[in-house]
């Protein structure tokens, strides 16, 4: 390891004078995990080298105007074990030790000038695509609650806030972003067509009994409990009501993908339902596997969130409040980030 570092330093000693930019600030982002060098206006020239055996990334960006924090171990994003700054002559270099099985990509970004190192668990460092599916729409109001509130409107409002949150870090596609009717089949087609990595359907629960309240999340399962079956039946009935047979949506995932997607969906659903219900002070009704037509047709992991009960006064109040809708979206986004990174 020492040998390698010295070799790099020697190389740099020879090229020191070619670096013109000044590092104004070094910062770390949690999601997505990044190390960012904010640079002065000069066109930056940078060099990087990676020692795979020691998982050591070396970056030479230019002069560093801030002299503090030579060695950093605290406040680092996931995937970084250690950061060490080495000053030599008028320049500084950074040694970044990555955790095991982590990939990185260094890129130059403009406006403002900065060098960004992205860390990720996948080699391609690809941008993930998340599909947001606000339930119902157009001629299909979904469940109708207190004062004529429609499920389709709450689902769309939360879906839009969720889009605004997620687009900061992901490629986001909505199955609908206005009050229009989309068949269940087309919702899954949209998702599969763009090769989505995650599908999130947003719905509102309904029950005759206005005392029923709380939040629950569903994932696709060929087997359902009688309770989950009932909820799935209601959501699937939309098809039949508007001329679509939900049974015609076939499962395109093979057995291996089915098992894997289910495992991933459960992982996301569990943490999210617990956290989201606590944050909203709503009852945690747990997560359930059910044969939802819209989830059956997609080829990625997916969840269907039933945010609350539209006929329950307390749930209704929370779900129709804009601030709460935003908080819900933020919480969901937080868990989506954790899911991917
Ligand atoms: Zn619904």
Task: Split the chain (341 residues) into runs of 10 and give each run's mean pLDDT.
Answer: 53 47 81 85 74 90 60 74 81 86 87 86 79 96 94 98 93 96 92 94 95 97 91 85 82 88 97 97 97 92 98 97 98 95 83
Cross-strand bridge partners of residue 71: 84
In the reported structure, the alpha carbon of residue 227 is separated from the centroid of ligand 1 by a whole-number distance in angstroms of 15
Helix (H/G/I), strand (E/B), else coil: 188: helix
- Distance from residue 20's CA to the centre of ligand 1 (Å): 58
The pLDDT assigned to 66 comes to 57
Ion ligand 1 nearby residues (CB, 5 A): 135, 142, 203, 235
In the chain, where the domains are located: 2-120, 129-340
DSSP letters for 191-203: HHHTT-SEEEEEE
Task: Please give the distance, rounded to the nearest whole angstrom, from the Cα atom of residue 175 to the centre of ligand 1.
Answer: 14
> Using an 8 Å Cβ cutoff, are 120 and 341 in contact?
yes
By C-alpha distance, which of 29, 26, 27 is closest to 341?
29
Cis peptide before 317 (omega within 30 of 0): no
Whether the CB-CB separation of 77 and 28 falls below 8 Å is answered with yes
Find the 310 Cα to ligand 1 centroid distance in Å.
Answer: 11
Ligand 1 center–CA 319 separation, angstroms: 14
Cβ–Cβ under 8 Å, residues 144 and 311: no
Ligand 1: distance of its center to the CA of 279 in Å?
22
User: For residues 14 and 25, what is the distance between their CA atoms, to the nearest angstrom?
Assistant: 25
Query: Ligand 1 centre from 222 Cα, in Å?
Result: 19
Q: Per CATH, is 129-340 categorized as 3.30.2320.50?
A: no
Look-up: residue for tokens 């009932």? 230
Q: What is the pLDDT of residue 321?
A: 97
Q: How far is the CA of 155 from the centre of ligand 1 (A)?
A: 8
Give 108 Cα–ligand 1 centroid separation in angstroms. Answer: 44
Distance 271 CA to ligand 1 centre (A): 22
Alpha carbon distances (Å) from 277 to 66, 81, 206, 324? 43, 34, 17, 12
**Centre of ligand 1 from the C-alpha of residue 204, in Å:** 6
CA 300 to chain centre: 14
How far is the centre of ligand 1, averaged over its atoms, from the C-alpha of 11 (Å)? 62
Find all residues with CB under 8 Å of 282, minimum gap 6, and list them.
Answer: 213, 214, 215, 276, 308, 314, 315, 318
Is residue 78 within 8 Å of residue 28, measured between CB atoms?
Answer: no
For 175, which DSSP code? S
Q: What's the 304 CA to ligand 1 centre distance in angstroms?
A: 9
- CATH 1.10.760.10 is held by the domain 2-120: no
- Report residue 169 CA to chain centroid gap: 7
C-beta of residue 303 within 8 angstroms of C-beta of residue 217: yes
Cα(229) to centroid(ligand 1), Å: 14
C-alpha–C-alpha distance, residues 117 and 210, integer Å:
52
Q: Ligand 1 center to residue 152 CA distance, Å? A: 8
Dist. CA 51–CA 56, nearest whole Å: 5
Give the pLDDT confidence score for residue 77 in this predicted structure.
77
User: What are the C-alpha distances in Å from 89 to residues 15, 17, 61?
Assistant: 11, 9, 14
**How far does the centroid of ligand 1 lie from the alpha carbon of residue 143, in Å?**
7
For the chain, how far is it from start to end, CA to CA, in angstroms? 29
pLDDT of residue 44: 64
Q: How many angstroms separate the alpha carbon of residue 341 from the centre of ligand 1?
A: 29
Expressed in angstroms and rounded, the spacing between residue 301 Cα and the centre of ligand 1 is: 19
Q: Give Cα separations from 96 to 16, 30, 50, 70, 327 (angstroms).
A: 19, 16, 9, 12, 35
Here the tokens at position 54 are 């020691």
Q: How far is the CA of 16 from the centre of ligand 1 (A)?
A: 62
Give 119-173 as a 3 state SS string: EECCCCCCCCEEEEEECCECCECCCECHHHCEHHHHHHHHHHHHHHHHCCCCEEE
Question: What crossing angle do the helices spanning 184-193 and 226-241 adopt, rounded to 10°?
Answer: 100
Residue 190 main-chain phi, psi, to 5 deg: -60, -45
- Cα(258) to centroid(ligand 1), Å: 23
Q: What is the pLDDT of residue 120?
A: 85
Distance 235 CA to ligand 1 centre (A): 5
């Amino acid at each position: 390891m020492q040998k390698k570092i010295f070799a790099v330093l020697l190389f740099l000693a020879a090229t020191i004078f070619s670096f013109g930019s000044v590092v104004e600030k070094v910062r770390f982002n949690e999601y997505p995990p990044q190390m960012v060098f904010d640079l002065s206006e000069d066109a930056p020239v940078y060099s990087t080298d990676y020692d795979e055996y020691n998982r050591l990334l070396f970056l030479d960006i230019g002069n560093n105007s801030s002299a503090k924090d030579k060695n950093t171990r605290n406040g680092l994003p996931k995937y970084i074990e250690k950061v060490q700054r080495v000053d030599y002559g008028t320049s500084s270099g950074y040694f970044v030790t990555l955790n095991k099985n982590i990939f990185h990509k260094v890129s130059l970004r403009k406006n403002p000038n900065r060098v960004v190192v992205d860390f990720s668990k996948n080699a391609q460092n690809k941008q993930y695509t998340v599909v947001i599916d606000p339930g119902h729409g157009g001629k299909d109001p979904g469940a109708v609650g207190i004062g004529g509130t429609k499920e389709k409107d709450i689902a769309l409002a939360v879906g839009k806030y969720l889009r605004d949150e997620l687009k900061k870090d992901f490629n986001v596609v909505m199955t609908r972003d206005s009050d229009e009717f989309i068949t269940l089949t087309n919702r899954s087609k949209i998702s599969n067509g763009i090769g989505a990595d995650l599908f999130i359907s947003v719905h509102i629960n309904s029950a005759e009994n206005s005392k029923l309240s709380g939040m629950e999340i569903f994932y696709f399962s060929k087997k359902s409990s009688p309770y989950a079956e009932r909820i799935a039946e209601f959501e699937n009935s939309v098809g039949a009501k508007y001329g679509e047979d939900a049974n015609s949506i076939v499962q395109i995932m093979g057995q291996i993908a089915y098992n894997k997607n289910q495992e991933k969906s459960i992982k996301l659903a569990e943490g999210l339902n617990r956290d989201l219900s606590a944050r909203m002070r709503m009852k945690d009704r747990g997560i359930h596997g059910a044969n939802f037509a819209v989830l059956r047709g997609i080829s990625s992991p997916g969840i269907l969130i039933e945010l609350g009960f539209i006929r329950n006064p307390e749930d209704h109040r929370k779900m129709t409040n804009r601030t709460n809708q935003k908080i819900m979206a933020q919480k969901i986004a937080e868990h989506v980030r954790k899911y991917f990174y």
